[in-house]
Structure 1
Amino acid sequence: MTKRAFITGITGQDGSYLTELLLGKGYEVHGLVRRASTLNRSRIDHLHTEPNLHLHYGDLTDGVSLVNLIREITPHEVYNLGAQSHVKVSFEMPEYTASTDATGTLRLLEAIRAAKIDCRFYQASTSEMFGATPPPQKESTAFYPRSPYGAAKLYAHWVTVNYREAYDLFAVSGILFNHESPRRGESFVTRKITLGVASIVLGVTDHLTLGNLDAVRDWGYAKEYVEGMWQMLQHDEPDDYVLATGRGTTVREFCEFAFAHAGLNWEDHVRYDTAYERPTEVDALIGDASKARDVLGWKAGTDSEALARLMVDADLEQMGRLLGRNA
């Protein structure tokens, strides 16, 4: 039997890596795509000839489209990766963030329940739900979100737990700590840094402007984290898992890693601007993924320093190609 998976957020970083993983395992993959005046499918363009990949227009803010798609596709696995996922933007667009991230998850769960199909559901939870709670953070750590994004994701997390307990739905939440890659959005700090390095090396600019350099994050490689998502849905019992490296790195240290890899001193090029600060800051997120290691056999293999080097190399190659020259 060919398994069918339905992925929201398929055009995003995680969605593209998960799609590659599932197609490689022989799945028939269906993805939710928001209709827009311009195409934004660059992360999955290389998969457009795959006969087992099917894209559908819809939106997490439109419950009717979700109900119709779930009934039409009858997926065996649903991965809810779609979200407004930028923390700072969530302060500027709190209502949209709540509608997409919080009630969007509820709409999807209701679509599955209404269709009465036997499927397994993965919810993309986030370390931002821990917020102000001191590290290390694990599955039993108290939540204390510090942004509209974190609060919306916390609602989605708990409503997933509720549907698991109330309707006996195989529903899990992956509480993923920061995971990055060359496919990370350009407004996220790690990608902003590695793109900045490439721009400076190639002579496009001579500086990079950032906000809080003291924030500590647990940065891992997104390609490894989607394997953990899949493993959660293959386990016998539904449960929630933290995925993380267990290593904390400051934004300043990530700058050091990235610039040093290109033979540069970060202090010569990085400028600070309060405009990039959040109204409320999350000081430190460092995950304890021992449960995922012990139960699923999952373990992060790429630390923040290796990740910075990997991303710098990719951005140098990509930007060099766009500029018509090699780094």
Structure 2
Amino acid sequence: MIMSRQASGSRLLSWLPVTAMGVVAVADVVAGPGVGFLPLVSLGPAFAGLVGGWRRTALIGVLALVLCLALGLYDGLFEGRRGFTALISVVGVTGAGVAAAVMRSRREAELASVRSIAEVAQRVLLRPVPRTAGPLQAAVSYTSAVAEARIGGDLYEVVPSPHGVRVIVGDVQGKGLAAVETAAVVLGAFREAAHDESDLVGLGERLERSVARELEGEKFVTAVLAEIGSAGGAVFLNYGHPPPMVVRQDGTVGFPQPPAYALPLGLGVHGAEGPEPYRVDFEPGAQLLLYTDGVSEARDERGAFYPLADRAYLLKDPDAQLALEALREDLMRHAAGPPHDDAAMLLLRFHGHGKGKSVRDA
């Protein structure tokens, strides 16, 4: 719906220069030469410079010049200075419009280049998760609050390891490039430790040390770590992050809470105890959704939070990625547009099939 509105707005803007010149021409013919509408013909190339390329702007300028000449002859304005003044106005505005169109095109090209680089950086940082990992099917959705860059501070990863499938979803304090740099540190440490550490608590402690070395001041990262074995069941460590949502095969929904909330990553070195692991039943047919607060704290126009539990039924599609996309679209409708915070969602489905190799998206 948002895309269709943007397309409609673009079409309206593209017709604006011609419409403006048509209205001026009709008004000049109806009102006569005494009112002085003729110089307003220059609105055509002025609007064209704002919404079109330089070639189209120049073409609109030529049309405006011809229209101005015709109306000036019709009104008999070239017997004095008024007709020539109007022609000079059209020529000057056309030149300014062409210059503006050229500069805008250059800025758009630079922005497209920056966005392309950001997308490549995001694919390197947040590489595609495995479609299948051990007994799990996985799908991911990421929506950045920085619309022009399409990259932010939320993070996720799924790592099949000898100790089970290890998962992380986190949210870096702040936004922009500094948050992206912190997310890269967390993901790098997690990908290495997920293979080496036999215990989830040990993985969390190693991650805490790595993050504490890299972060400065009061920066922190909220995160939830999970470990799912082939026999079922999930073990969690929660570092001040929103609790996961479990959707049972019968449709019931739960948000398992940790025994005690721990400080986010980066703050644990101040002497506080780390999180306690807790186990949650995760049987075949169940779904596990890990997400960031950009989902749970998304508000509508009245300030109401997104009712995630009430929207669990949207995850019914047999294709995990399509199911997650349906939830994302509903979230965008609730927020009436792009989110004000990064919103990441990772959906895991327990199908209970063996321990096959993982397959990553192309």
Considering fraction of residues, name the structure with more helix.
2
- Scaled by the length of structure 1, the TM-score of the pair is 0.27
Q: Which has the larger radius of gyration?
A: 2
